[in-house]
Amino acid sequence: MASVAEASESSAELRVRDFRARYRDAEIGPRYLGWLHASFTLCVSLGVIVFAASRVHGLRPLELLTIPLTFLFASFAEHRGHQHAMHHPRRGLRLVYQRHTLEHHRFFTHEEMAFEEIRDFKIMLFPPILLLFFIGGLATPVGVLLFFVATPNIAWLYVATALGYYLSYEVLHFAYHVPESSAVWRLPGMRALRRHHLRHHDQRLMSKYNFNITFPIFDWLLGTTYRPREDEGSVK
């Protein structure tokens, strides 16, 4: 006779599988090509990074501070945006909350983290339009401003670093949802980063802890890193 815990786990697994089936039918059209989506994100991001880096000339040491400062600002923005707009409905940003909390966190739970088919890429990656918005609506305007108020090198380094952070977000988040049999888990640090994100996918914890997707810098600085009690056991 199955235990209560086993029955509960089985029920949770069935709920996830039922949601995944319904989501695929309703939200992922037959023309969606997961590898094309992933390739678009990778190629456009790398293209902008390479182009911006190629425009840097006569670099002065002080201008290199643009890289860590942009990285830290992006990490802070990632943490705050994830903590608020993605997990709490905000006026004008309801679709962000719906796609992340109501869809992504039901498609992937801490018990069912791995994708099952290529069509699942749609719920793992940001929509291509968001990458274009990030380039045209955020990276470019700030880059233009820095071009005139600072130096051209600072502007180009900002654009390259900002797109580098966006790409690292997409690549790492994608990696957290690959099957555990993947060779990616042999890379240094990947299990620790996945463990951090896995705990965020526990629906009891998701609105309170582990908001950094890339590197948990601001989770640590702002006290939002979840630290399990000894009686909770370990998470792989």
Query: What's the mean pLDDT in 114-124?
Result: 96
Prediction pTM value: 0.91
pLDDT tens string 147-168: 999 999 999 999 999 999 999 9
Contact 109, 125 (CB under 8 A): no
Whole-Å CA distances, 167 to 98, 125, 135, 171, 172: 23, 10, 12, 6, 8
Mean pLDDT, all residues of the chain: 92
Averaged pLDDT for residues 177-194: 92
Q: How far is CA 175 from CA 9, 109, 125, 191, in A?
A: 24, 15, 11, 10
**What is the spatial distance between Cα 172 and Cα 126, in angstroms, rounded to a whole number?**
13
Q: Where are the domains of the chain?
A: 31-232
How do residues 82-109 score in pLDDT, each as one tens digit?
999 999 998 888 999 999 999 999 999 9
pLDDT band at 110 (very low <50, low <70, confident <90, very high): very high
Confidence of residue 177 (pLDDT cuts 50, 70, 90): very high
CA dihedral 34, 97, 74, 204 (to 10 degrees): -100
Residues β-bridged to residue 109:
112
Checking if the pLDDT of 236 tops 80, the result is no
- How do residues 1-58 score in pLDDT, each as one tens digit? 445 444 455 677 889 999 999 999 999 988 999 999 999 999 999 999 999 999 999 9
